[in-house]
């Protein structure tokens, strides 16, 4: 008799679960499960928020599934009148709400900081103070004087309430993941330090508007370094000026003559990266095209003309300027190969 009652009760619970465990899911509802919450507390919250309609049957259903002790804390986005199974799957797998954060390739720290502030809910000044904290940089293994260049550009997803430190750690770990053993071997072959390589990659990233030109741009800079020439990279001067990308005038270059990032006056690479290089730029810095170009100049379409001699370079500059003038006057530019 007792066994029959148990079977009847179990069958009743299962029937309720099949028939009454939610209707057609509708609007999204935000539900927070605090750490240490009991099944009863979770069920109460779900009923109050309109996610489920019956507390006791839900608890029994969760116990039958073995989910009563597997629910994870966090902030969830659930649908009103959800099926109980769907709710428990999300709660036991910890499928919490996440906030996306996208950092484009070539962003500087001062451009990344607002993105981090938005996802963490703190001020930009607070983010910047953490970014430049030497203790944090040491913990993250950043080889540079600051985190510039070592917060990898990508799309991330974070739980609400994430800390600035956790965001930076995720970005630094993503950067670290790009360094395979093969890349470490290439770095040794180039006889460069990691900081030098990332600095080179950041300049390539800032110069290139087309990924397929990155290896050739890389070759120019490697060639100039090998010959002991000044890099004369416009993006480094713009970094020294602290402004956005704009036509660089000689007066602006002269205004920061003694700045360590002015590669028109200072030999070698600048002290550190000038932006966050993406994977393609890192690959190009490690694998420069095997060419003997020493100069390049940008066309109006963002592509570059590569040359070997100063005379060729000056001619390419003149042609690029003439093309810009034609565009400015409304005339159609000559087609480029």
Walk along the chain (337 residues) and give the pLDDT tens digit of each residue. Answer: 555 555 545 555 554 555 445 555 568 888 989 988 999 999 999 999 999 989 999 999 999 999 988 999 888 889 988 899 999 999 998 888 889 999 999 999 999 999 999 999 999 999 998 888 888 888 888 886 789 999 999 999 998 889 999 999 999 999 999 999 999 999 999 999 999 999 999 999 999 999 999 999 999 999 999 999 999 999 999 998 876 555 555 555 666 778 899 999 999 999 999 999 999 999 999 999 999 999 999 999 989 999 999 999 999 999 988 888 888 766 554 544 4
Question: Is 3.30.1490.480 the CATH classification of the domain at 20-93?
Answer: yes
**pLDDT tens digits along 192-234:** 999 999 999 999 999 999 999 999 999 999 999 999 999 999 9
Task: Kindly state the DSSP code that residue 102 receives in the 8-state scheme.
Answer: E
Residue 145 is predicted with a pLDDT of 72
Residue 337 is predicted with a pLDDT of 44
Alpha-carbon gap, residue 337 to 333, rounded angstroms? 12
Residue 20 is predicted with a pLDDT of 47
Domain ranges of the chain: 20-93, 99-177, 192-293
The enclosing H or E element of 15 equals helix 2-20
Count CB neighbours of 160 within 10 A: 15
Alpha-carbon gap, residue 54 to 12, rounded angstroms? 14
Look at residue 149 and give its three-state secondary structure. coil
Residue 133 is predicted with a pLDDT of 85
Do 55 and 44 contact (CB within 8 A), yes or no? yes
pTM of the model: 0.78
Tell me the sheet residues that pair with 78: 29
Measure the CA angle with vertex 29, ends 28 and 32; round to 5°: 140
Residue 19 is predicted with a pLDDT of 43
Alpha-carbon gap, residue 163 to 116, rounded angstroms? 9
Residue 97 is predicted with a pLDDT of 85
Length of the chain: 337
Tokens of 242: 């602290």
Residue 306 is predicted with a pLDDT of 96
């Amino acid at each position: 008799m007792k066994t029959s009652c148990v079977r009847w009760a179990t069958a009743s619970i299962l029937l309720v679960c099949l028939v009454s465990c939610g209707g057609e899911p509708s609007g999204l509802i935000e539900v927070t499960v605090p750490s240490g919450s009991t099944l009863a507390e979770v069920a109460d919250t779900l009923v109050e928020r309109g996610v489920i309609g019956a507390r006791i049957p839900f608890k029994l259903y969760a116990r039958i599934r073995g989910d009563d002790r597997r629910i994870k804390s966090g902030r969830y986005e659930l649908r009103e009148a959800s099926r109980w199974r769907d709710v428990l799957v999300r709660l036991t797998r910890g499928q919490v709400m996440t906030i996306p954060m996208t950092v484009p390739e070539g962003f500087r720290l001062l451009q990344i900081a607002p993105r981090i502030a938005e996802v963490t809910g703190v001020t930009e000044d607070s983010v910047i103070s953490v970014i430049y904290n030497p203790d944090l940089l040491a913990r993250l293994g950043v080889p540079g004087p600051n985190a510039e260049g070592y917060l990898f550009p990508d799309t991330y997803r974070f739980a609400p309430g994430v800390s600035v430190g956790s965001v930076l750690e995720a970005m630094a770990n993503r950067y670290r993941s790009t360094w395979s053993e093969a890349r470490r071997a290439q770095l040794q072959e180039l006889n460069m330090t990691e900081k030098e390589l990332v600095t080179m990659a950041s300049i390539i990233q800032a110069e290139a508007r087309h990924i397929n030109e990155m290896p050739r741009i890389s070759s120019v800079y490697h060639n100039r370094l090998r010959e002991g020439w000044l890099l004369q990279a416009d993006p480094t001067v713009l970094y020294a000026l602290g402004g956005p990308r704009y036509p660089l005038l000689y007066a602006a270059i002269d205004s920061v003559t003694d700045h360590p990032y002015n590669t028109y006056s200072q030999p070698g690479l600048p002290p550190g990266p000038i932006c966050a290089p993406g994977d393609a730029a890192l690959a190009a810095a490690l694998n420069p095209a095997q060419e003997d170009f020493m100069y390049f100049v940008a066309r109006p379409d963002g592509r570059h003309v590569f040359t070997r001699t100063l005379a060729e370079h000056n001619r390419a500059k003149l042609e690029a300027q003439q093309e810009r003038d034609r565009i400015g006057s409304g005339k159609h530019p000559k087609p480029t190969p």
